[in-house]
Structure 1
C-alpha cells in the first residue's frame, strides 16, 4: 500500500486565478499528495441558458478561472512536476458551448483580420447524462438531437512560466496553460517543467468532451470534480509539457503558426526518445517519422497546440528518472479509488 495524503479544496469565487504566474499560492502541498479539487467552467458559471451571451455576461479578460496555484514543497527550477489525473467528473448535469465574435478557427479574428462581419453569437446548452456517460446535442434550428460519448478532460493545466512572466489563463506555451488537448483525461500523467520555486500549479477549463482542434474555440464547457495525484522528479528538465498514458507517450508544442507548434512537439518527442529510450537522434527521427500520431489540440487560442504521440510498445525500454513514475501514480490512483 502507498501512503496517501488526501487534500480536498473547493475555491470560493474570489480565490480563482486568472493567470499563470503573478498569483500567490492558495495552499502548500507535499509531493505525493492526492488533491480533490473543484474547477469552475471557462465562463465562471455565468452562461446558463441560450440567452446568456458571453459578450453580455462575461468580462474579458476574466475568463477561464483556475483552481490554484498550489505551492509544491521542494519544487525548484529544473525539476519536473508530474500531475496524474485520477478522475475527472462533471459536477453539473449541464454544460455550455458558444460562438464568440472574432474568436475561433473558421472566422475572422483579431490576429487573422479580414473585411467581413463576425459570425453570429449563439449559445448551445448541452445536457449531460452522468450515468449513461453522454452529452446531448440539440440543434439550435430544427429538432435534431444526438448523444455523443462523454470524455471529460481539462483544457488548462500548468505551472508558473519562466523569466518572471505572467501569462493569461487563455494562453498555452511551454509552461502548459490552455493547451485544450482531449488527451488530458483520467488515467493520464502530465509532466510539467518547474520554472519557479514551488512550481505554482493550477488547473481549470473542464470539458465534458471536445473535438480535436476545438474548431469554434469553445468546447462543451463544464465545472468539474477532479482528483489529481502529484509527484516531484528532482533534477529532471522538461522543456515542454509531456503526457503519458498506459499506451502512449506524448509531447506538446504551442506556437503560431500551426506548423511551428507541430515542429516543437515532434522535436520534443525525438529528444524524449534519445534521452529516455537510448536511441541515436537520427534513428529517433526516423522512427518518429514512421510511427507518430499528430492530433491537434487547439487551433483557436493565442497560440495553437499540436501533439506528437507514439506507442510505448514500439520503443526500446525506458531509462532514467521517469522510468516508473506513471505506473506508480496509476497505483496511487487505484488505491485511492478502491478506498472510496
Structure 2
C-alpha cells in the first residue's frame, strides 16, 4: 500500500503573496514527492467583501491575483518536468465573488479592442457557497431569479518561473503556465510544466468555486482556498507548453492572441504528444486527434487567451503518459486522504 509522505504546510501572510511569476526567491524548498498543504487568497486579495465593494475602489493595481509561492523543488533543472497533482481544493469562506469590469472581459471594449460605446458597468455579485451540499448560489441583481450551481473548485493560476529571467504578471498566461483559467485544473488533475530555472519555482492562486468555459465576463466565482498538492519531478521531460492529465483525458494548453493561435498551439501539442505516446506518424496522430479530440476554451479575456485540447485516454489502450505518473500520484493522494 502506498504511504503518503509528511506534508509541508504553507500559509503565507498578506505580505508574502507574489503577484508575478519570476523575480522572487522561494518561500520554501521541498523534495520531489512532497505533499504541500497551502492556502491562497482570492484574486481581489480579500478586499471585496460585499456588493458595494467595487474592485476599482478597494483594490490597487497591480496587486491583483495574488499567488502562493514560489515553491522550489530540489533537483529541478531547466528542461525537467514539474508535476503538480491537485489532491483537494476547498473554499475557506462561505461565499465567492464575481464581477464585471468596464474594460475587462470578452464582451466589452478593452484597450486592445477600442470602441466608441460606453464601457460596461462595474458590478459585484456575491455567491453563497454551501460546501456540505456542494452548491454555489447565483442571485440576479435585478429581479428575483436564483439558481443553485454545482460547486466545482479549481485554480485559475498555476505555473512556474519563466525562462531567461523574464518576470510576468500573475494575470498573464503563457508557456510557463500562469493565469490559464481552465476549469480542468481541479482536484484529481495532474498538471505538467517545463522547468525553466533552477528549482522550477511553482506558484498557485486564483481559486474559483466554479467557472464556465471561457471565463466570459473576466471573473469566475472567485474564492480563497485551502489546497493540497503533491509535487514531483521527471528529469529531462519538460513539455513546451503546460499539459494536464486526469483519469479520463490527456489535455494540452496554448496561450496567445488571437484565439485561433492559442487553439493551434494546444492542438499542435496534443498531436505531438499523441504521436510520441503511440508511436504514430504525425499525420496519423493528426487524424486521430481530429476525430476524437475536444477543444474547450479556457479563457477569452486575459492578456493572452487560452485554449485546451483534450484526447480521451481510452484511445491509448494500455499506454500511459510519463510511465503512469498520474496514476502513482493518485495513489499517493489516496494514501494522504486516508491517513491525514
- TM-score scaled by length of structure 1: 0.98
Query: Matches of residues 26-41 of structure 1 in structure 2 within 5 Å?
Result: 26-41=27-42
**Contact 1:278 1:316 (8 Å CA) reproduced:** no
Rounded to whole Å, the distance in 2 between the matches of 1:49 and 1:157 is 27
Rounded to whole Å, the distance in 1 between the matches of 2:260 and 2:332 is 38
**Aligned twin of 1:335:** 335
Rounded to whole Å, the distance in 1 between the matches of 2:282 and 2:186 is 30
Superposed displacement of residue 317, structure 1: 3.9
Superposed displacement of residue 275, structure 1: 1.8
**Aligned twin of 1:326:** 326
Q: Which moved more, 1:249-258 or 1:272-281?
A: 272-281
Whether 1:105 aligns to 2:106 is: yes
**Aligned twin of 2:166:** 165
**Aligned twin of 1:265:** 266
Rounded to whole Å, the distance in 2 between the matches of 1:72 and 1:59 is 32
Note the residue ranges of structure 2 that are not aligned, 5 or more in a row.
none
Query: Matches of residues 3-152 of structure 1 in structure 2 within 5 Å?
Result: 3-152=4-153
Rounded to whole Å, the distance in 2 between the matches of 1:310 and 1:275 is 14
Rounded to whole Å, the distance in 2 between the matches of 1:155 and 1:237 is 21
Query: Matches of residues 199-218 of structure 1 in structure 2 within 5 Å?
Result: 199-218=200-219
Superposed displacement of residue 142, structure 1: 1.1
**C-alpha RMSD of matched pairs (Å):** 0.9
Rounded to whole Å, the distance in 2 between the matches of 1:56 and 1:18 is 19
Summarize deviations over 1:201-260 as a string: whole Å, max 9, x none.
000000000000000000000000000011100111210000000010000000000000
**Aligned residue-pair number:** 339
**Contact 1:90 1:152 (8 Å CA) reproduced:** yes
Superposed displacement of residue 2, structure 1: 2.8
Rounded to whole Å, the distance in 2 between the matches of 1:267 and 1:258 is 14
1:213 match: secondary structure: coil
**Aligned twin of 1:309:** 310
**Aligned twin of 2:230:** 229
**Aligned twin of 1:250:** 251
**Contact 2:4 2:335 (8 Å CA) reproduced:** no
- TM-score scaled by length of structure 2: 0.98
Summarize deviations over 1:3-53 as a string: whole Å, max 9, x none.
513111100000000000001110011111000010000000000001100
Superposed displacement of residue 299, structure 1: 0.1
**Contact 1:189 1:243 (8 Å CA) reproduced:** yes
Note the residue ranges of structure 1 that are not aligned, 5 or more in a row.
none
Rounded to whole Å, the distance in 1 between the matches of 2:123 and 2:37 is 34
Rounded to whole Å, the distance in 1 between the matches of 2:123 and 2:236 is 48
**Contact 2:3 2:336 (8 Å CA) reproduced:** no
**Contact 2:8 2:35 (8 Å CA) reproduced:** yes
**Contact 1:152 1:209 (8 Å CA) reproduced:** yes
Rounded to whole Å, the distance in 2 between the matches of 1:163 and 1:313 is 38
Rounded to whole Å, the distance in 1 between the matches of 2:8 and 2:163 is 27
